[in-house]
Amino acid sequence: MNESSREHRDAFLPFDTAPLPRPLHRFGSAFPRAIAEAYCNAYTPRRGVVLDPFARPASAADAAETADRRAVARHVGLFGEWARRVLAHAPAETELRAAFTSLRERSVGGTPLEIAMRELYGSICPTCRAPVVVEAYLWERDSPVPGRKAYRCPVCGRGARTLLIEAVDDDDLRRAQRIDDGAPLRASLARRFGRSEEARAFGESVVGLYTPRNAAAVELLLQAIDETLPGGRAQAFLRLALLEPLVAGSRLNAIAGGAGPLRIEKGRVRRGTAAQHREINVWFEFERSYRDLLQHAAAAAPRDGTIGRRPALGRASAPLPDLERLVPEGADLVLFEAPTADLLGGWHEVAAALLLGESEAAIRADARATVRERVLTGVRTALLDARRSSRAGAAAVAYVPHAEAGTVAAVALAGVAAGYRLRRILYQRDALAGVGRDRSSAAALLEFDPAGALLKDQPVGDAKSIEEAMRAGVRAAVIARGEPIAGDRAAVAALEGLSESGLLPTIALTRSRGVSELELFLDHLRSALADASKSGLLRIQHAGQEAYALALPGPEQAPLDDRVEWSVYSLLSTMHDTDTRSLQRRVYALFRGSETPDRELILRCLASYGVQDESGRWSLRGADQLSARQEEHGALVGDIAHLGRRLGFKIWIGRHLQRRRELSELLTDAERRVYLPLVARGPADALGELDCVWYGRGRMVFVWKVEWTARLHPNLVTLGEAIPDAEHLFRFLVVPEERRDLIRLKFQRAPALAGVAQQRGWRLVKYAPLRAFALQEQVDLNGLEPLIGLEPPVEQAGHQLVFNW
442 and 413 housed in the same domain: yes
Q: What is the pLDDT of residues 387-421, one digit of tens each?
A: 988 998 899 999 999 999 999 999 999 999 999 99
Q: What dihedral do alpha carbons 785, 789, 794, 797 form, nearest 10°? A: -140
Indicate whether 801 pLDDT > 70.
Answer: no
Tell me phi and psi for residue 591, to 5 degrees: -125, 100
**Contact indicator for 225, 215 with CB cutoff of 8 Å:** no
pLDDT of residue 300: 67
Mean pLDDT confidence for 159-166: 83
- Opening angle at CA 397, ends 392 and 402, nearest 5: 160
**End residue of a domain, out of 451, 471, 495:** 451
**Percent of the residues in the chain that have a pLDDT greater than 70, as a whole number:** 90
Domain span at 694: 626-795
* CA atoms of 630 and 636, how far apart (whole Å): 10
**Contact indicator for 446, 415 with CB cutoff of 8 Å:** yes
**Residue 682 region by backbone torsions, left for phi larger than 0, else alpha for psi between -120 and 50, else beta:** left
Q: What is the pLDDT of residues 74-127, one digit of tens each?
A: 887 778 889 998 998 899 999 999 999 999 999 988 899 999 999 999 999 998
Q: Is residue 89 part of a domain?
A: no
Q: Report CA torsion sign: 263, 268, 270, 276.
A: positive
Sequence-separated (6 or more) residues with CB below 8 Å from residue 573:
620, 625, 626
Q: What dihedral do alpha carbons 787, 792, 794, 795 form, nearest 10°? A: 140
Mean pLDDT confidence for 681-690: 92
Collapsing DSSP to helix, strand or coil, 110 comes out as coil
Number of domains in the chain: 5
128 and 235 housed in the same domain: yes
* CA atoms of 522 and 537, how far apart (whole Å): 19
**More confident call, 535 vs 607:** 607
One-letter amino acid at 744 equals R
Q: Is residue 445 part of a domain?
A: yes
- Opening angle at CA 41, ends 35 and 42, nearest 5: 90
484 and 578 housed in the same domain: no
168 and 221 housed in the same domain: yes
707 and 696 housed in the same domain: yes
- Record the pTM: 0.89
From residue 213, alpha-carbon distances to 117, 131, 210 in Å are 10, 18, 8
Sequence-separated (6 or more) residues with CB below 8 Å from residue 347:
26, 243, 246, 247, 261, 262
140 and 196 housed in the same domain: yes
pLDDT of residue 327: 63
Q: Tell me how far apart the terminal alpha carbons of the chain are, to the nearest angstrom.
A: 67
Indicate whether 246 pLDDT > 90.
Answer: yes
* CA atoms of 584 and 598, how far apart (whole Å): 11
Q: Is residue 306 part of a domain?
A: no
One-letter amino acid at 152 equals R
- Decide the pairing of beta strands 264-265 and 111-112: unpaired
CATH number of the structural domain spanning residue 37:
3.40.50
714 DSSP assignment: I
Burial 468-504 (b: 16+ CB within 10 A, else e): bbbbbbbbbbbebbbbbbbbbbbbbbbbbbbbebebb
**More confident call, 555 vs 527:** 527
**End residue of a domain, out of 413, 433, 451:** 451
Mean pLDDT confidence for 573-599: 93
Sequence-separated (6 or more) residues with CB below 8 Å from residue 46:
68, 69
**Contact indicator for 221, 282 with CB cutoff of 8 Å:** yes
- Quick one: 704 exposed, middle or buried, by C-beta within 10 A (0-12, 13-18, 19+)? buried
* CA atoms of 448 and 620, how far apart (whole Å): 39
pLDDT of residue 3: 41
**Contact indicator for 408, 444 with CB cutoff of 8 Å:** yes
* CA atoms of 667 and 696, how far apart (whole Å): 14
Q: Is residue 673 part of a domain?
A: yes
118 and 257 housed in the same domain: yes
From residue 244, alpha-carbon distances to 210, 559, 672, 766 in Å are 14, 48, 80, 55
* CA atoms of 720 and 762, how far apart (whole Å): 9
* CA atoms of 589 and 673, how far apart (whole Å): 48
Q: Is residue 85 part of a domain?
A: no
pLDDT of residue 160: 67
pLDDT of residue 212: 92
- Quick one: 797 exposed, middle or buried, by C-beta within 10 A (0-12, 13-18, 19+)? exposed
Q: What is the pLDDT of residues 427-453, one digit of tens each?
A: 999 999 877 666 789 999 999 998 755
Q: Is residue 13 part of a domain?
A: yes
Indicate whether 309 pLDDT > 60.
Answer: no
| DSSP notation for 178-234 | HTTTTSHHHHHHHHTT-SSHHHHHHHHHHHTTS-HHHHHHHHHHHHHHHTSSTTSHH
Residue 273 has, within 13 A of its CA and on its CB side, a CA count of: 2
Of 333, 308, 451, give the one whose Cα is nearest residue 60: 333
Q: What is the pLDDT of residues 753-773, one digit of tens each?
A: 888 999 999 999 999 999 999
Q: What is the pLDDT of residues 500-526, one digit of tens each?
A: 999 999 898 876 556 789 999 999 999
**End residue of a domain, out of 581, 605, 620:** 620
178 and 242 housed in the same domain: yes
Given pLDDT bands bounded at 50, 70 and 90, which one contains residue 4?
A: very low
28 DSSP assignment: -
**Residue 241 pairs with which residues in a beta bridge?**
none
Given pLDDT bands bounded at 50, 70 and 90, which one contains residue 304?
A: very low
Q: Is residue 315 part of a domain?
A: no
133 and 264 housed in the same domain: yes
* Distance, CA of 585 to chain centre: 18
Given pLDDT bands bounded at 50, 70 and 90, which one contains residue 587?
A: very high
- Quick one: 741 exposed, middle or buried, by C-beta within 10 A (0-12, 13-18, 19+)? middle
179 and 249 housed in the same domain: yes
pLDDT of residue 229: 81
Given pLDDT bands bounded at 50, 70 and 90, which one contains residue 690?
A: very high
Indicate whether 5 pLDDT > 70.
Answer: no
604 and 638 housed in the same domain: no
Indicate whether 739 pLDDT > 50.
Answer: yes
Q: What is the pLDDT of residues 370-388, one digit of tens each?
A: 788 889 999 999 999 999 8
- Decide the pairing of beta strands 49-52 and 70-73: parallel
Indicate whether 701 pLDDT > 80.
Answer: yes
Radius of gyration of the chain (CA): 33
739 and 777 housed in the same domain: yes
Burial 768-794 (b: 16+ CB within 10 A, else e): ebbeebbeeeeeebebbbbbbbbebeb
Q: Is residue 86 part of a domain?
A: no
Of 763, 788, 629, 779, give the one whose Cα is nearest residue 705: 763
Residue length, the chain?
Answer: 805
Longest pairwise C-alpha distance within the chain: 109
One-letter amino acid at 94 equals T
Tell me phi and psi for residue 315, to 5 degrees: -100, -5
